[in-house]
Amino acid sequence: SGVLDAVKAHGGDIFVESEIGKGSCFKLLFPMQSQDTPKNEHTQTGTFTPQTQESKPLILLAEDDELIRGVVEEILSANEYRVITAINGEEAVHQFTQNSIDLSIIDWSMPVKSGAHCIREIRQYSPSARIIICTGHEVHYDGSLEDSDFTEAARHTEGVLQKPFTIDELLAIVEKVFT
């Protein structure tokens, strides 16, 4: 239901085709930007465009929801970022320690190892690691959540990305890290 809520929040819809013994096909439809709608700053400027593949920032995306992980990975890749994904907190910590990560986007609620534990371990490995917390939980105006671990973690990150989020919101918080 989280995916459906996110799709509906962006004016989209989901269609499912399923056949026993063959599997299911999910189609996500989102409204296109009309020609009358002004382009946002990301499409006008092209934003951060490094010269070589190696110079592009490497982002670790830790998200257990396959659909969200795939969409965010596509958006970031299409905007000149290299992306490594992890499906849980344990895999995220492993990926972080094995790669030169420029930014981590960590889902707060993940299996195996929570976002809180994942962030804590990444901070032990690299105290200056740049991290964005991603959550579907309600975040209060002051950036807190009714969770003391979250509130403490959020104080020491580059920001919080509240689900559902738009492409512009995702790119704005990521670009802010690199400017």
Is residue 69 within a helix (H) or strand (E), and if so which, with residue range?
A: helix 66-78
Q: How confident is the model at residue 87 (pLDDT cuts 50, 70, 90)?
A: very high
pLDDT confidence of residue 44: 40
**Paired sense of beta strands 23-29 and 13-19, if any:** antiparallel
Give the pLDDT confidence of 110-137 residue by residue, as tens digits: 888 888 889 989 999 999 999 999 988 7
Interacting residues of 48 by C-beta distance below 8 A, sequence separation 6+:
57, 79, 80, 175, 178, 179
**What number of CA atoms fall less than 13 Å from residue 27's CA on the CB side?**
5
Q: How far apart are CA 50 and CA 21, in angstroms?
A: 46
Question: Comparing 18-22, 43-47, 71-75, 161-165, which segment has the lowest mean pLDDT?
Answer: 43-47
Give the pLDDT confidence of 34-86 residue by residue, as tens digits: 444 444 444 444 444 444 556 789 999 999 999 999 999 999 999 989 999 99
Task: List the beta strands (DSSP E) in the chain.
Answer: 13-19, 23-29, 58-62, 82-86, 103-107, 131-135, 159-162
Q: How far apart are CA 90 and CA 117, in angstroms?
A: 9
Q: How far apart are CA 111 and CA 169, in angstroms?
A: 25
pLDDT confidence of residue 135: 86
Question: Comparing 24-33, 90-99, 138-147, 161-170, which segment has the lowest mean pLDDT?
Answer: 138-147
Q: How confident is the model at residue 144 (pLDDT cuts 50, 70, 90)?
A: very low
pLDDT confidence of residue 32: 61
Query: 0.75 exceeded by the pTM?
Result: no
